Structure 1
């Protein structure tokens, strides 16, 4: 027995330090079960690198900028500069993630796709995420730091970021592209700061913008919103800092580790489909771990409550409901007021997936019909078979979505 032990331990030690153990990515779902020995698996340095390392590896040039919002949050922006660009494009991420999501598809990342097409690319970050934990007077350990929803992100973060990018690019009007909450906050910005948006933004492209989520949307997410909203006291007791997905929490680290190393990637996809909707396109096997790693940014419970208020009001896109007394003080009415989408002056291009269960097609149709006619001059784009996640890691994302967006932008530039 002792001799067997003496043989096995060195063998395990040697195995641990062989190149096999470094493999973190596979080209097929099944190969993850044999990741250390399958020729279908390999080591991809992007999975263990930070955003600047990823950009440097694939493009070679990058810049980091810091912007202060009017209410004191310090935001980090990343830029992939381009000499004599076709235009400037500003990307805004969705919920639970940050700017990394736009570079999480290796060499075929969305940000690189537009940079190679000739655009000066800027990657935004919103308050509270991995890159934005600073404030002029507040600390992330204080509950006041987390007192915001997508309203503040649209009204303050987007405004500060867009005006900063405009100054850095000699007054250029830019393309705004937001996914999920990035679309929600984009609509907040364009409707509440309509004149500034018209002066700074050439076009707003919102993908699965989650502005009018309602009762007919079938995602499991609505039940989680219901639980979080109706168990506020219990949830708040569990985390007195009023935030979800704390990055330093053991359960978040454990969940990320398990999801990344769990070999049954189809099981992980099944869980994602419960939230995002069934997809015929599906996340590419070699992107799924990058997708998991790109998520994990913290959000306040108040953000969850705001989305839930939209849901229970049958898709009414409105400001945060603070209760009757506070509403009268803030808005002059007993109920919170709808966002003035009719004020939007910027052309808005809505892109949505047929199988999206979070931002379902009927919700997008409601947004489209609410917008003024001068903002819908370019129409909308419906992607068959796409769910909420396919815009980021679906196999045909570039072919079905981003190539068509580029063609639209080129057509617009030719006409102007």
Structure 2
């Protein structure tokens, strides 16, 4: 019986994977942010932001007439492109058509932020010694300050997805003065707690320490790693029992965990595989794994001896969410296996200024559906535009 179930799972997952790969590759799969922005009628400017600890981040700007700047921040293993991949139906183009002054940031480690004033990401492991704590403590404030200095404004509005929300909770609890610099935070699939997880995500979390030990033994600090060659996803051949079928199965499992495959048509899937996944650090994934296992939103756990040196106690310091006083809208998917409704409700209880707690109407709305789903214009964008207008 068990073998039969495995065979059925194998067949179903392979079917999902193979039907998502069309025979031709779209031009958009190979265009970068500025190329996509230009193609869809809103050319982007490009700037460099240097963080306090020396990371060089690319910041994109699409000028708009509305006075308050709007900053978008991406999730883990992602980059600015994701907000543009749907072209005319993407969040960035939708906001640009509404005349918002749009800035799209990048977190250290991805293809637009893989530089440092002293460190080489290919040669210096120290480059990758960061988690979402450092991206919240250094990348986000540097980006916010750059935007405010460039525009001459006192504050901005911010839309974050996944880790793009986590870094806000880190920053605003660690440096509360930044609450005054953000007029409104729209948190898509907000991640602070990872308590209420179910298989297969919970299974991966439980296996996390073992996976991390394996990665460290191989000297892997960058994820995905060049030490483990993987074919480019947009070149995969998943039809007809090809040599890529094992990786196709893996991708099929990934699809079913993090987004609703029914809302990702094959033509679009080929576009996103040209851009995703982006790069991040092993330490970032370990930090998320720690908060899932400990069920506490806290700083990185270095072990008792190092924790005492860094935090003054055996356990890492918890982030004080009561200090996050910015007006916050929490948008959650019913089928989200990471930012679950239960976790968002816990976050809602601790944040002192939640102006909206919104559960997406479709029951199948999952974690990555907030940036790639094909009906965002129906279920997501109206809520975002209403919030932006209401708290102008």
TM-score by length of 2: 0.87
Instruction: Could you tell me which runs of 5 or more consecutive residues in structure 1 were left unpaired when the two chains were aligned.
Output: 1-28, 37-42
1:135 matched to 2:113: no
Shift in Å, 1:135: 0.9
**Separation in structure 1 between the aligned mates of residue 208 and residue 222 of structure 2, nearest angstrom:** 11
Aligned to 1:253: 231
- Count residues in correspondence: 366
Equivalent residues of 2:193, 2:347 under 8 A apart? yes
**Separation in structure 2 between the aligned mates of residue 123 and residue 362 of structure 1, nearest angstrom:** 29
Alignment match of 1:370 (pick from 324, 346, 350): 350
SS in 1 for 2:315: coil
Q: Which structure is richer in relative contact order (CA contacts within 8 A, separation 6 or more)?
A: 2
**Which aligned pairs between 1:6-405 and structure 2 lie closer than 5 A?**
35=23, 44-82=26-64, 84-140=65-121, 141-195=123-177, 197-214=178-195, 216-238=196-218, 240-246=219-225, 248=226, 251-258=229-236, 261-263=237-239, 270-276=252-258, 279=260, 282-314=263-295, 316-372=296-352, 375-376=353-354, 378-384=355-361, 385=363, 386-405=365-384
Shift in Å, 1:30: 5.6
SS in 1 for 2:69: strand
- Post-superposition Cα deviations, 1:35-69, rounded to whole Å, max 9, x if no partner, equal 46xxxxxx642122222111111124211000111
Equivalent residues of 1:89, 1:121 under 8 A apart? yes
- Post-superposition Cα deviations, 1:309-360, rounded to whole Å, max 9, x if no partner, equal 111112x111111111211111112111110110112111111100101211
Equivalent residues of 2:19, 2:266 under 8 A apart? no
Equivalent residues of 1:87, 1:118 under 8 A apart? no
Runs of 4+ in 1 over 6 A off after TM superposition: 264-269
Shift in Å, 1:31: 9.0
Shift in Å, 1:101: 0.5
Shift in Å, 1:224: 3.0
SS in 1 for 2:148: helix
Equivalent residues of 2:20, 2:269 under 8 A apart? no
Equivalent residues of 2:220, 2:282 under 8 A apart? no
1:408 matched to 2:384: no
Equivalent residues of 2:75, 2:163 under 8 A apart? yes
